[in-house]
Amino acid sequence: MHSREELTGKLVEHMSHVQRRMRARRSSAWLDLDLTRQQAKTLHFLSHGQRRMSEIAGRLDVEMPSATTMIDRLVAKGLVERGQDPADRRAVVCSLTREGIEIVERFSAIRAARTESLAAVLSTEELEVVVPALEILADAVRRPGFMPQDGDSESSEREALTVEADA
């Protein structure tokens, strides 16, 4: 029987290895998107609905001028559009354009294809072990006491994109 410390060490080691190997399987489709990590994270954030500039800056943990510059670049690429907040005409809101939505959909397709390629090399018996283990991990990241990112419930979705954006 292994100690909790030994098991935690093995978890860290194996999670790190899996993440590195998944990133190493870079897809040319991902590289063709020509987006920075922050831009990808912003598109994913906006895929949940329009957001004020202050929310975007807060989510990315950057100052407003940096968020504004990044949004300017995404607007220039035709991925984001600005508008007025109907509740407060002084506030600027950003939302995805149709092309921006398509890019986010491509993120998901790329991530799914990589995961499917991993599943393809596993036997059914191995998948029967791996899937319940991942369900336990997915549940664990939602539990109180898990280190939250920005203190919100979308951290697991953002983390998935972060891994993809690192790819």
Please check the confidence at residue 30 and state whether its pLDDT lies above 80. no
pLDDT band per the 50, 70, 90 thresholds, residue 149: low
CATH of the domain at 41: 1.10.10.10
Q: Could you give the angle at the alpha carbon of 62 between the alpha carbons of 104 and 157, nearest 5°?
A: 35
Q: Could you give the angle at the alpha carbon of 148 between the alpha carbons of 145 and 149, nearest 5°?
A: 170
The total number of structural domains that make up the chain: 1
CB 46 within 8 A of CB 95: yes
Q: What is the pLDDT of residues 92-130, one digit of tens each?
A: 899 999 999 999 999 888 889 889 999 999 999 999 999
pLDDT band per the 50, 70, 90 thresholds, residue 165: very low
Q: What is the pLDDT of residues 68-82, one digit of tens each?
A: 999 999 999 999 999
Instruction: Give the 3-state secondary structure of residue 56.
Output: helix
What does the alpha-carbon distance between residue 163 and residue 87 come to, in Å, rounded to a whole number?
Answer: 35
pLDDT band per the 50, 70, 90 thresholds, residue 148: low
Q: What is the pLDDT of residues 48-70, one digit of tens each?
A: 999 999 999 999 999 999 999 99
- pTM (whole model) above 0.95: no
Residues 6+ apart with CB under 8 A from 140: 146
Q: Domain residues for 107?
A: 4-165
Q: How many CB atoms lie within 10 A of CB 59?
A: 20
What does the alpha-carbon distance between residue 47 and residue 106 come to, in Å, rounded to a whole number?
Answer: 12
